[in-house]
Each structure stands twice: as C-alpha cells, then as structure tokens.
Structure 1
Amino acid sequence: MSAPSWTDNLPDAARAFLEGRRLDEVECIISDLPGIARGKAVPATKFGRMEYFHLPDSIFYQTITGDWGEAAGDEGFIERDMMLYPDMSTASAAPWTADWTLQVIHDAYDRKGRPIPFSPRNVLKRVVGLYKAQGWKPVIAPEMEFYLVARNLDPAKKIEPMMGRSGRPAAARQAYSMSAVDEFGPVIDDIYDFAEAQGFEIDGITQEGGAGQLEINLRHGDPVKLADEVFFFKRLIREAALRHDCFATFMAKPIAEEPGSAMHIHHSILDIETGQNIFSGPAGGETDAFFNFLGGMQKHLPAAIAVMAPYVNSYRRYVRDHAAPINLAWGRDNRTTGIRVPLSGPDSRRIENRLAGMDCNPYLGIAASLACGYLGLMNEEWPDKQFKGDAYESEEDIPRVLGQALDIFEGATEMHEVLGPEFARVYAIVKRAEYEEFLQVISPWEREHLLLNV
C-alpha cells in the first residue's frame, strides 16, 4: 500500500481536475497591496516536500507602477524574508496553462510566527476575527463588474470596446440584454469552464450598461473565501479574454463616456450561537444592529474610500447620473444611493455598499467595508434618515480625488485600529508615493488646452 500523498486531501474540484493526470507544477501565490498575484512556481514534487517558502516583505511596499514607497520602517529597506505557508483549502486549478498546474494561496508570517500585518489576506482575517470575538459571523456577497475591451498596446490610445461575435464593436446602454451577452459568448464559455474547473459557483452573468461591460455575481458566504474567489476570478477572466484576442479590465473607469465598474459588497451578520441574522428581530423587523451597521457605513466610509477606490482613476467613476454613487445616502431598493438595502426577507436582510470599485484589492475592499459596519455596531452609531427619491439630486459628500481620500484615511485612527495600525501606516505611504508619481505626469488635456492658450 502506497503512502498517502498530499494531493489526497485537496478540495474536490482540484482532485477532479487532476483525476487521471500527473500534476506538473504548483503556483504558490499571495496578494500584494494592489491585488497582483506574487509568488513562485515550483515543481509538484518539490511542493510536496515544502512546509513554507520565502518572499521579501518589500512586495508590500511596491506601487502599481513597480516603484517603492518608503514604508520599510526604522530598520530601513533590508527586504526581510517572510514565511509563506499554504492554505490548502484554496488549492485550485489553473486550467489555462499548458500543463497540469494548481494554484495555492499562502498566508504570510514573520520568523516568530506572527501574521504580517500589511498582507491583505491577514488584514481581512483580522477584521473577521474582531467580529468573531463579539459572537458574530459576517457574510458577504460581491458583485464583480468589468469590461471586455479591444487589445490596447499603446497607453496613449483610448480604450475601445471589443469586437463582438457579430463583427461589430460591443454596444453601450444594453443593460440586461441577452443578445449583448451572446456577443461575448466564446469568452463567457471559457469563464464558465475555468470557474467550474476551479470549483467556483457563479450566481449569474449579466450585461451591464457600458459597451462590453459585464457583471458576475458570486454566492454569499465567508468573507475570506469570497475574497479568495474574487482574487482568483480576476486572473481567470483575464486569461479567458486573452484566448479571444481581447483584454479584460477591472479599471474603475476605463472608457470616459461609459459607466464605471464597481465591486458592490452585500453584508449580513449572523449570531454564531443561533445562526440568526442580527439585522432581523424575532418578528422579522429591522433591529438596532441593522441601523447601527448602516450608521457605521455612513460615518466611516469616507475614511475607507482610499482603500475601496485606490487609484486616481477610481474617482472618475463617481459621476452624477452615471450608475455610481456620489454620496453616502442610504435607501431601500434605491440604486442611486451609496448604501442600498435590497429587497429581501428577514433571514436574508442585508446592506449593500455600492462605493467600492472593481479596481480595489478584494481582501482590502471587503475588510474596509466590514470595518465601517463593525465600528457602527461597537459605537452604536445611527444613520441619517432614509433617502427617498433620486440621490443624484442631493449634495456630493465623498472625496473626489485620491489625495483628499488619503488625507481622511491618514487621520482615521478608529479605522486604523480595526484594519491594523501597521497596515494603515504602510498603505498610506505606498498610496501617497503612487499619487505623487501620478502628479508628475502631464496629461493630453493639459497639452491641448494650456500649451498655447495660457
């Protein structure tokens, strides 16, 4: 009888993917601050002998452009090694590769076994742990919006919609059109196939309002598990698009005239002992906890927007009358408000945050959103009166540029205590470095209108 192999205890989907095949390689990955997968690819035989592997902590000090924020701390930029341990529950196929490959998400620790505080997955685990300490289990459901666009190899060229199956560019303002979805049929077929191989359950795919814009809804569940899935999904969707001569982009606002792409986050909270939704009382009515969570959202979202809208492009999405919120109003079944209470029964009563962009790191976006609700619950904060009508007709009350959002985040000590002070320090430094790098770029608008006119 042969000795048991580490592959015997893989998740069902991963075992099914490998059935009758020889595993060649394992990609050991971790999310950096932007949400890019960093790590190492190792032969499967070597992975089976590995307990952990090393990466330098400097991967968390890197900006989206590959530059560095001065966030290394008192000891300086010595690129200290982290210990990365696999979470085998995340083992998943990489079905687009030429050989038989698995991906495994890892958690980062220092040499004393302490979680690295600015690793995004650890930040989310910290927030979920704070809920657990109160006897609560947060449940979330993310909605992912993205564009399929024509290949763009020249940054100076505008992004254009992809060419559909009919040979015509994807059309705008065709929300929920099945014909529009059919235009992307081959890409969507690969998305479904890859998702099935990875064991992910898609709740649905719809056409959104933009030209070539789609939305994928995921089933509700554990925040860390769902963040893992969004992390995996971004890569999966990009790979499916590349097979069909187009790009998938998760930019918040890739095309000026079109709606932006959000990652709407639905939240409910369960009592761990009873399993009951704490937003609903015994008779099915809304509880104090429901309103406290709403109040926390309204009070603390301004401090969290630098995490949920992490790039200069993110703020181009917040445009009046353009399918994105411009304020912190809340309403029932009202998609013009930043905070929405969808139609539901008492057991599934939930609160939707419509401010997060699809460009955010899913671990950090979900952690920041839950942090707002947590502070509302702990501080027993109450929301403003429900907004009725078109919230686009009211005043804007969210930051309009990244610099302003970072100013608010840097002063938000309560938010820092929930997300982790060391994470807040590193994040602010890295994003500030990124913002200052952007400010050095002279835009085409400036050259066109200022060169000879001022």
Structure 2
Amino acid sequence: MTDWIAQTPQAAQAYLEGRRLDEVECVIPDLPGIARGKAVPASKFARQSFFFLPDSIFYQTITGGWGEAAGADGFIERDMILKPDMSTATAAPWTGDWTLQVIHDAFDREGVPIPASPRNVLKRVVDLYHQRGWKPVVAPEMEFYLVARNIDPAKSIEPMMGRSGRPAAARQAYSMTAVDEFGPVIDDIYDFAEAQGFEIDGITQEGGAGQLEINLRHGNPVKLADEVFYFKRLIREAALRHDCFATFMAKPIADEPGSAMHIHHSVLDLETRRNMFAGPQGGETDAFAHFIGGLQRYLPSAIAVMAPYVNSYRRYVRDHAAPINLEWARDNRTTGIRIPISDPEARRVENRIGGMDCNPYLGIAASLACGYLGLVNKVTPAGQFSGDAYEGEPDIPQVLGSALDLFDAATELHEVLGPEFARVYGIVKRTEYEEFLQVISPWEREHLLLNV
C-alpha cells in the first residue's frame, strides 16, 4: 500500500484490500454539479500532487455553451491548480476495474481558492460561521425519480417498469410494496453506498410515480455536500444497470410532485458544543428565531441558486408537495420553513425550498448564508403560521428571470457567498435563460400556430 492510499478513508482502503488499484478519477464539481476532471493511472496519481484544468469550466452552461464571465482579461482559459482532498477518496464500484474517485479543490497560482468553485463557496460560508464561534450542521434529503429510458427529448418522461412488470404506480407515498417494485435498483444503491462508505438514514417511496427519497445523517456541510455529489452519480449508475434512468430534475413528469433537496439546519456553539437553537431549559432561543428570520428575508434572493433552471419553477405548484411561500411552522409540511418534532438538543430548521436539481454545494451554501445573515443581523421572523400555507399567496419568484433579478441585486448575500462567485453565477445563469428563451415549445406550436 502506497503512502497516499494510507491517507484515504477506511472505506476506500477496505475496498482495495487484496486488490490492485488501476485508476483514479480526479474530479471537481462545476456550477451545475457535474463532475469535471480527468482519469489517470494509479501509478501517475501517486506521483502527482496537483493537476491543471482551465478556469472556463466554471463559465460553461448546462447546454455546453459559455457565459461571458471571464472578467477583464478576457476568455484566455487560465489554468487552475487542482489539489486532491484525500478525505474524499471513495470507490467507483460500478467500473470494470478497481477505481477510486477523489474530489479536488481549485486554487490560483498564488494558492488563493478560486471563488467560482462551488466547493470553495461552501467552505467560505462555513468559515464565516466558524469566525463567529458557530458550527453549522446540516442533513440533506434527496428526492429523485426512477424513469423509463428516454433518448428522445420530444417524448414525455414516463415512470420506469417495476419488478412486477407494470409501470411504477403513482401516489403510493411511504408504501413498502412500492419500494419493493424498485428492489433491484435499491439493492445496488445500498451496495454502492456501502462500498463508498456512505451511511443512508433511510429510503422511502415518495408521492410521485417512481419517486424515491434518501435521507442522510446530519453532519459537516462540506462532507454532506460531497456525499450528495457522489450519491447523484452512484444512483444514476445503479439505475443504468437495470435499464432505467435516475433523474434529479425538479419536475420531470407533469401532474406529479417535483423533487426537492430539503435541508435540515442546526448551529452549535463551538465552545460549549451545545445546539444554539435550544436554551438551558430546552426553550427556543433568539438564535433560533433569527435563523428563521434570515431564511424568510433572504431566501427570495437566493432562489436562483436553489432553483437554478427554468424547470425548477414548475415544482412550486399550490397543493403539490412543494412550498409556494416562506411561512414557518412546527411540523407543517405546507410551509417553506418547517420545524420538525425533536428533542431540544436536536432542534433544527428545515428549508423545504431547494430543488434536487441544484448543485448541492451551492444549495447548502445559499441556505446557510441566509441563516447566517439572520443571525448576524438579528432578523425577527414573522409570526408562526397556522393552517394550510397553500391558501396563502406566493412570495417566492415564479420564473428564473425574476429570481435572477433578485439575486443580481442582493449585495449583502453576495458578500457571504463571494462577490466574484455571484458575478460569474449571474452571468452564466442569465446565458442559460436566454438560450432557453430561443426554444419554441410544443405548447406554443399547438395553441398559437393557427389561433393567433
């Protein structure tokens, strides 16, 4: 065993025990959360402490185009220095040989973190908490669909064929029989997760046809974002083994619920290690209220990060399992901000706004940034909501263009996420939006072609 393998997590070492490592995938998440990088022979990885990629990977749109975000020097594709974080080394158990994946961090030639790198953005926000003597803790929930293979963009997405030979049945929330329909895929998800050293808190059938949810244990925000990043890939690979697709689109199927990435938050005092949301007698603290107030005040400006595509806004439908406003309440799933039932030491705030299509680093960073501003500015929340929040009026943007307008104007949020990141993100997302506006939809052809 070489020295660098000894630095990897125990799960990676166990995966390689008695085997010869063939390849290492050196990866870095881009703005959409796609793994960019290169695969190298294990012998070469053992000899290198970094590698290069152009900074233009952070200017690329989801369609493969480019946003004009290179800055004053122009589009010269300057090399970044990518350094491995060996704590992220994990198996790629679906490959034909013995392969590890390692997430890398991006730096310039002076060793300064590249501000547009999503993992660096999240590290920046976590560091701001630490500077205040606070430790943020998160627990993400991942919703996704297993769907029939679809290689024709003009064709509607359909649920996958279940083990029984019938298409996945709709609206069987929490059904164990429905979960059994996807048993072979779920078995591979568990096997891949175990090989990668990830702990799944549970898998449930959600309300949509072929929709599942995976809950992860609470912990360090960067570590949990790494896991969601890895999970998206392993779930896709498990699905492909069984002739179906896994999709993390926010709204893949019309008339079915969308897929969210709910984020549970708590904040610990670094000195006492106690939950800042619970007082000495277990009561709710000012910090608890201020965190909620921060989400209510700043989330509208952060929606463009947590709902990053035009499809994301199709999820926010009244009475359809996604919030339409930022009311808060205890144990009420109709509100955008929910306080789950818990003991005082586990008291937490659940942000139900984000879609599963968001970059996990950026989604978690944006949510934490809103809570941070609430804590720092001592924002008072609105009164607790009572009843069905779907009966209220929407108070979040309804289309990506409006969300981008709010984000571009949110200078206070930019200072937390990083002004240079905010500049690049706004340009790239505006470019994507303008690309979408050039597409003529089937609805337009059907209803406007001969009628207007």
**TM-score under structure 2 length normalisation:** 1.00
Which residue is equivalent to 1:294?
292
Where 1:398 maps in the other structure, the secondary structure is: coil
Which residue is equivalent to 1:228?
226
CA distance in structure 1 between the aligned counterparts of 2:254 and 2:25, rounded to whole angstroms: 36
Which residue is equivalent to 1:339?
337
CA distance in structure 2 between the aligned counterparts of 1:264 and 1:341, rounded to whole angstroms: 12
Count of residues in Structure 1 that have an aligned counterpart in Structure 2:
452
Amino acid at match of 1:155: P
* Alignment of structure 1 residues 15-26 onto 2, 5 Å: 15-26=13-24
CA distance in structure 2 between the aligned counterparts of 1:200 and 1:19, rounded to whole angstroms: 18
Which residue is equivalent to 2:356?
358
Which residue is equivalent to 1:253?
251
User: What is the aligned counterpart of 2:373 among 355, 375, 380?
Assistant: 375
User: What is the aligned counterpart of 2:407 among 406, 409, 412?
Assistant: 409
CA distance in structure 2 between the aligned counterparts of 1:307 and 1:5, rounded to whole angstroms: 39
**Counterpart check, 1:284 vs 2:282:** yes
User: What is the aligned counterpart of 2:34 among 19, 33, 36?
Assistant: 36
Which residue is equivalent to 1:69?
67
Where 1:58 maps in the other structure, the secondary structure is: helix
Which residue is equivalent to 1:100?
98
CA distance in structure 1 between the aligned counterparts of 2:385 and 2:343, rounded to whole angstroms: 21
**Cα shift at 1:7:** 1.2
CA distance in structure 2 between the aligned counterparts of 1:409 and 1:186, rounded to whole angstroms: 42
User: What is the aligned counterpart of 1:45 among 43, 53, 56?
Assistant: 43
- Aligned residues: percent identity? 82
**Cα shift at 1:4:** 5.1
**Cα shift at 1:10:** 1.6
**Counterpart check, 1:116 vs 2:123:** no
**What 5-or-longer segments of structure 2 have no aligned partner?**
none
**Counterpart check, 1:452 vs 2:450:** yes
Amino acid at match of 2:274: Q
CA distance in structure 2 between the aligned counterparts of 1:244 and 1:5, rounded to whole angstroms: 38
Which residue is equivalent to 2:183?
185
Structure 1 runs (4+) greater than 4 angstroms displaced: none
* Conserved? CA contact 2:145–2:246, under 8 Å: yes
**Cα shift at 1:8:** 2.0
Where 1:376 maps in the other structure, the secondary structure is: helix
Amino acid at match of 2:383: K
CA distance in structure 1 between the aligned counterparts of 2:386 and 2:221, rounded to whole angstroms: 30
Where 1:14 maps in the other structure, the secondary structure is: helix
* Alignment of structure 1 residues 129-278 onto 2, 5 Å: 129-278=127-276
CA distance in structure 1 between the aligned counterparts of 2:43 and 2:380, rounded to whole angstroms: 56
**Cα shift at 1:9:** 2.3
Listed one character per residue, the Cα deviations across residues 201-229 of structure 1 (whole Å, up to 9, x for unaligned) are 00000000000000000000000000000
CA distance in structure 2 between the aligned counterparts of 1:78 and 1:123, rounded to whole angstroms: 23
Where 1:210 maps in the other structure, the secondary structure is: coil
CA distance in structure 2 between the aligned counterparts of 1:328 and 1:177, rounded to whole angstroms: 29
Which residue is equivalent to 1:84?
82
* Conserved? CA contact 2:200–2:217, under 8 Å: yes
Listed one character per residue, the Cα deviations across residues 373-414 of structure 1 (whole Å, up to 9, x for unaligned) are 000000000100000100000111110000000000000000
User: What is the aligned counterpart of 2:307 among 306, 309, 317?
Assistant: 309
Amino acid at match of 1:13: A
**What 5-or-longer segments of structure 1 have no aligned partner?**
none
CA distance in structure 2 between the aligned counterparts of 1:294 and 1:236, rounded to whole angstroms: 33
CA distance in structure 1 between the aligned counterparts of 2:140 and 2:412, rounded to whole angstroms: 25
CA distance in structure 2 between the aligned counterparts of 1:426 and 1:48, rounded to whole angstroms: 34
CA distance in structure 2 between the aligned counterparts of 1:6 and 1:423, rounded to whole angstroms: 32
CA distance in structure 2 between the aligned counterparts of 1:419 and 1:366, rounded to whole angstroms: 11
